[in-house]
Amino acid sequence: MKQVFPSAISWWLFGPIIALLIGSGIYAAAEHYLLNALVVLPVLGFICWLLCSTYYEVQPEQQVLRVVSGPMVWRVPVSAIVSVRPSNDLLSSPALSLDRLCISYGKYDSVLISPADRAGFLAALLQLNPAIRHD
C-alpha cells in the first residue's frame, strides 16, 4: 500500500510572498490597473497549487518514490537511492521548507524534498531498501 507524505511548509517564506501578491493585486484593482491585477491571479494560483499539491509518495508495489509538486513529477526507483541526508540547500526544488532532505540516487542525481514526517518517510524508504545510507 502506498504511503503519502505531505511537504512541510515554511510559512515565513511563503506568507510574505502571498501577502505581497494579494496586496499588489488589490492595489492594482483599486487604481483601475485591471490588466496588472489579472496578471497577479495566475501567479498567486500557481503558488497556491504548489502549496496544496506538493507531496512525496512511496509506492512499495512499484518500488518507486514519486515526488509531486504542482505540474512536476519525479519518479525515483527506491533501489537506486544511495543516501538520504539533511540539507539546508537553497536550490530550487520540490520542497516547501528549508528543512530539507537530499536524496541522492543513481550516479550523480539528487532531489531535495521536505516531508513533514521525516522519520516516517525515512522508515518507509528503508523498509524497501535497507542499504540506503542516512544520517
Provide the pLDDT for residue 104: 95
pLDDT at 100: 92
Mean pLDDT of the chain: 92
User: Looking at residue 92, what is its pLDDT?
Assistant: 73
Phi first, then psi, for residue 8 (nearest 5°) are -70, 150
* Tens of pLDDT, residues 80-96: 999 999 998 777 788 88
Task: Give tens-digit pLDDT for 46-83.
Answer: 999 999 999 999 999 999 999 999 999 999 999 999 99
Type of residue found at 121: F
Strands in 100-105's sheet, in edge-to-edge order, are: 109-113, 100-105, 81-87, 133-134
Strand, helix or coil for residue 40? helix
